[in-house]
A and B are shown apart, each in its own frame.
Chain A
């Protein structure tokens, strides 16, 4: 399995929406490589005939009757928001300058 480079960690940080500074990148890249090396030990353990298990129990959709029940009020739902306006979450701009 491939070793993880500093540039790859920077790319992954972008995908994960985390700004990492240079010191963090220097620190993390070798640690992730060590973890991945250890994880590589299981690559040949299970044959093609072994089905994957995503969950310890069989998972099925759970439904309830379509009845209106009390839920959080808008005020409660917004109570932890960093910013809100007119009973809505206020967020920074979502589209880029060119859009």
Chain B
């Protein structure tokens, strides 16, 4: 390269770098939106919610960003706390799903909007079962089901409760797999269902506040015994897939016969032909596998706070809530009275009256670490 060219390109680079920080400021009218969900949720927002919202609100647009996982959103929330203290701009307005109790003290720091007092016109429509505090807005639900290959297992023989499931797993070694509990909710909630099983089938026994190390050791200790008991009968003598998608992949390749799946992901996989039409779905009848509602959080100190609240209100409209059922295969966040009667009838069978949930906070870390230490076996290297 000639010296003159070098000087020109170097000067250009320096000028560009001087402009960079200015360019990264949040733009007025562009909602910075973050998600920690799987790509099917991002696709749903890209193809359905974003065009509908932008058509209804000229001049406002949404910048959809995949934050990766819950820890990714947490890092952005921590940035928002720091920005609040210094009066700066957090460059974030809307979390697609988040637990406002994270990071610790975020609510006290005042970075989240109190949804109850925000004056949303659709707030009263939300399913009362779904609320988890005033700082988040439940807008969609999903649940973990068991999906199975109906060519190998007849619907009549599919296990309907936990004991039948354990009997089936042991009678069919290598035909069941669940993913590592920290790598996706389908395996994570299967582990949580085992916790419920070990502790009297009472979801109320676990709350965000009743975590203590002694209580966790006692309740989780019994759970690890249950899971260790079935481990040798799992796929490849106790191998665990590395995510929700990988479990579905093993099912679609005919490697395993049954695996826990998210309801929305499995319905989408069936509609896209990843899984065959006749894939069986079953829910345990003694206590359903845990699932949960996704709860949107709006940042109080974001530049586009008001536009983000408009968006939060918008996702509760009948248009979007129906699309959650039809396009996403999820459950609506609003009560069933606010879904069109036709859809209400069509989905009557699969929608539960309640979804057992499991608290996050310290429980999440205790479950994730305890499972790796106690359940995941040391694989024999020489086999």
Same assembly: no
B residues bordering A, Cβ < 8 Å?
none
Residues of A within 8 A of B (CB): none
